[in-house]
Amino acid sequence: MSHFKLKSVFFASILTLFLGWTMPSLAAEMMAGSDVTVKEMNDPKLGNILVDNKGMTLYTFTNDKDGISSCYDKCAAIWPALTMSAGQPVLAQGLPGKLGMSKRTDNTMQVTYNDMPLYHYSKDQKAGDTVGQGFLGKWYVVKPTKAK
C-alpha cells in the first residue's frame, strides 16, 4: 500500500472513530433544544406580557380548566394553539412561572403556562399585536406570574 493510501486510511479511521463517538452527544444536545421559547415583551397599554419566539402575543382562554384546552374546530381556527412537535418549551431566563405540555384531542402537544393552555389570535398580524385582548370577556394576554 502506498504511503498516501496508508495516510488516507488512517485519517478516515480516525475521522470515523471521532464522529462515531462525538456525533451522538452532539445530536442529543441539538435534540434537547426547543422550537418554542416563551419570553416577555412590554406593551405600552398592558404592561409586561408573554410572547413566543417570533414576538407574537400569547393568550389564555378562561373556559380552559385543569390544563386542558376547550378550544377546537372553529374556535381553534381563530385561536390556534401554541403547539410543539418535539422537545420541551423554554421559558426565557428570569421569568416566573412554569411551562408544560398538554395533549390535545388531535394528539398534538399544546404548550401551557402555569397549567393554562397557550394560544395565538389569528387577527394578530405582527409581533406585539394584542387585538385579542379581552375578546368576549374570555380571552386574555398572558402576564408573567409565579406558578401556584
pLDDT in tens, 79-132: 999 999 888 999 999 999 999 999 999 999 999 999 999 999 999 999 999 999
Same domain, 44 and 26: no
1, part of any domain = yes
45, part of any domain = yes
Phi-psi region of 107 (alpha: psi -120 to 50; beta: other; left: phi over 0): left
Helical (H) or strand (E) element with 15: helix 3-31
Residue 5, domain extent: 1-32
Q: Predicted confidence band at 35 (pLDDT cuts at 50, 70, 90)?
A: confident
> How many domains does one find in the chain?
2
148, part of any domain = no
Q: Would you state the pLDDT for residue 19?
A: 38
Q: Would you state the pLDDT for residue 86?
A: 87
Nearest 5°: CA angle at 107, between 58 and 64?
Answer: 45
Same domain, 107 and 137: yes
**Residue of higher predicted confidence among 23 and 45:** 45
Does the predicted TM-score (pTM) go above 0.85? no
